Amino acid sequence: MTKRLLLIDNAIDENYRPAEDWARWITLPTDVVRAAAEPLSADPDAYSHVLFTGGLPSAREDTDWMRRERRFMLEMVEADKNVLCVCFGFQLLAQALFGMDAVRARAAQGAAPELGWAKVTVSKDDPLLGQKDSAYWGYVSHFDDVCRIDETAADVVAASDACAIHGFKLKRKNVWGLQAHFEIDIEAGKRYNAMFTAAFPQLDGIILRPPRDSGFIRELMPRFERL
């Protein structure tokens, strides 16, 4: 089939516009659906690739639109699409596949949010992430963690010092979830940090610095689009 990408935009307001962050890196013909405001009724046969973005809500809120999105994710997995889910999308995918308790608040573990720039290390040779023990710096912003997967169904493929499951891949499927925002460059990351600290000044003290970006998105997206 002709390649075409469906981008599921998890924006809920104008403070965070993930579709814009991704647009500069995507080369495939693309359609965008805003999950919180539009129906998820796309024909799977029309798309080869599906990308689920990050979002500001907590996946633990379990709203109606999040439930619809989880169901849609499972449809795309069953249809054998090439699927990439990032941050909030990654957490929804984990819940869809492994149950709601696959995601927990970092505060419940006595941990601060992972916010700023972190080193993500590849745990297992992977078609998207590359060789085991490769490491990439990128922007991270999450108050919840994926804390559990079924390792008979999926492999952990990435970790950071603060988060043991920074990514997983389903076995025998081209389906990935990644916590890090490799699509967000340093300037955009600074803008988002300023947004967080304006609302919650206490977060300024926990931001991971200095800003470091390996530019891994320039490898990640071409690998995904070649599938």
Query: Residue 196 contacts by C-beta under 8 Å, 6 or more apart in sequence?
Result: 115, 141, 203
Query: Is pLDDT at 165 greater than 90 in this prediction?
Result: yes
Number of compact structural domains in the chain: 1
Q: Which residues pair with 85 in a beta bridge?
A: 52, 177
Report the pLDDT value the prediction gives residue 42, as an integer from 0 to 100.
85
Q: Yes or no: say if 43 and 16 are a contact pair by the CB < 8 Å rule.
A: no
Please state whether the predicted TM-score (pTM) of the whole model is above 0.85. Answer: yes
- Structure-block tokens of residue 97: 């596949």
Q: Could you tell me the residue range of the domain that residue 145 belongs to?
A: 5-226
- Here the CATH number for the domain that contains residue 199 is 3.40.50.880
Q: How far is CA 88 from the centre of its chain?
A: 6
Question: Once rounded to an integer, what is the mean pLDDT over residues 47-71?
Answer: 97
Query: pLDDT per residue over 166-218, tens digit each?
Result: 999 999 999 999 999 999 999 999 999 999 999 999 999 999 999 999 999 99
Report the pLDDT value the prediction gives residue 108, as an integer from 0 to 100.
93
Query: Is pLDDT at 136 greater than 90 in this prediction?
Result: yes
Query: pLDDT per residue over 14-46, tens digit each?
Result: 999 999 999 999 999 999 999 999 999 889 899
d(CA 7, CA 84): 10
CA-CA distances (angstroms) from residue 41 to 44, 46, 69, 76?
9, 11, 10, 11
Report the pLDDT value the prediction gives residue 1, as an integer from 0 to 100.
79
Mean pLDDT of the chain: 97
Tell me how crowded residue 74 is: count the other CB atoms within 10 A of its CB: 13
Amino acid at 55: G
